[in-house]
Amino acid sequence: MHTLESDWAIRVVRGMVGTLGECGAAVIEVIDCGFRPDRQIAALDRLREEAPDAIISLPVANASVAEAHMRVTRAGIRLTLVDNVPTGLLPGPDYVTLVSADNFGLGRIAAELLAPHLPDGARIGLLGYDTDFFPSNQREIAFQRWMETNRPDVSVRVARFTDMDETPSVTRDLLDEERELEGLFAVWDTPCVSAIAEIARRERSVKVTTTDLGREVSISLANGGPVVGIASQRPFQQGETVARAVINNLLGRNCPDWIALPGLSVSQANVVEAWQAVWREAAPREILEGLNLISRSAR
């Protein structure tokens, strides 16, 4: 996995591992690559020596990890990809299938959710990931394209981070340079959490949307901001879909080249129901309290 630090990644793995277990397949290891291509390359090469029947991978980059993924397939191991395809790999000869969210759709949903909160002529920021990573690239493209088409009055300033530790400083620079910033889109929830913390420290009124229904951004949404909308993936369902694709391939059945799961538009009005649908568990107390569904004194 690219990371195991996010709510999304944890649920994807749970969906995969649970479904594989139901099908009688043993998962021998789950690896956190920490968004580092070198760590992922080393992990793939080491796993290749273990000779499992199948490997599931979420490539952390494109060109730099391509050869390591090709070596897996050349060794006769079935390779299934999540969210991203390294440069040059083709479905069939190089990997079984790609299972992803509709990342372009997620960017569009995030723009649709932010637009009603923006006045005419608003200046907004886009907090992007500064690497060749298909999911975040697609979200950025869709967000900007929707704004250009539907809100041409809005000006979008792009600021990018290369790792999570940079997110606070990138956000600070953006807020310093854009004194009239009224909106922000963060490409997923982990950098968004750092961004809204910086916004709070500056006591700035900035409306924010993001992707992934993480705990902190959902609490912010339920409590009235700064998060005003979330374009949610369906990680548990995506993990189940990945596992089913692996099993079908091992059984000699054909799989589509690409399986994409639609996103879910989440506002304050449906955050509790969305949480239950996405995470398969009751919403945290902080969300319920923010919506006045339970009393804060009930702790």
pTM of the model: 0.86
* Residue 188 sits in the same domain as residue 60: no
Low-confidence ranges of the chain (pLDDT < 50): none
- Give how many domains the chain has, as a whole number: 2
* Residue 281 sits in the same domain as residue 244: no
Alpha-carbon distances, residue 169 vs 36, 40, 197 (angstroms): 21, 27, 11
* Residue 15 sits in the same domain as residue 147: no
* Residue 47 sits in the same domain as residue 143: no
Which structural domain, as residue segments, surrounds residue 128? 103-233+266-298
- Which residue do the tokens 């493209």 mark? 141
* Residue 139 sits in the same domain as residue 274: yes
pLDDT of residue 134: 84
* Residue 204 sits in the same domain as residue 252: no
The enclosing domain of 140 has a CATH number of 3.40.50.2300
* Residue 136 sits in the same domain as residue 204: yes
Note whether residue 2 is domain-resident. Answer: no
pLDDT of residue 129: 92
* Residue 115 sits in the same domain as residue 138: yes
* Residue 148 sits in the same domain as residue 25: no
* Residue 173 sits in the same domain as residue 213: yes
Note whether residue 63 is domain-resident. Answer: yes
pLDDT of residue 269: 97
Backbone angles phi, psi at 276, to 5 degrees: -65, -40
pLDDT of residue 287: 97
Instruction: Determine the length of the chain.
Output: 299
* Residue 180 sits in the same domain as residue 238: no
Q: Which amino acid makes up residue 156?
A: V
SS (H, E, C) 231-279: EECCHHHHHHHHHHHHHHHHCCCCCCCEEEECCEEECCCCHHHHHHHHH
* Residue 143 sits in the same domain as residue 279: yes
Instruction: Concatenate the DSSP letters of all residues of 37-93 into one string.
Output: HHHHHHHHHHHHHH--SEEEE--SSSHHHHHHHHHHHHTT-EEEEES---TT--BTT
Cα–Cα distance between 73 and 91 in angstroms, integer? 11
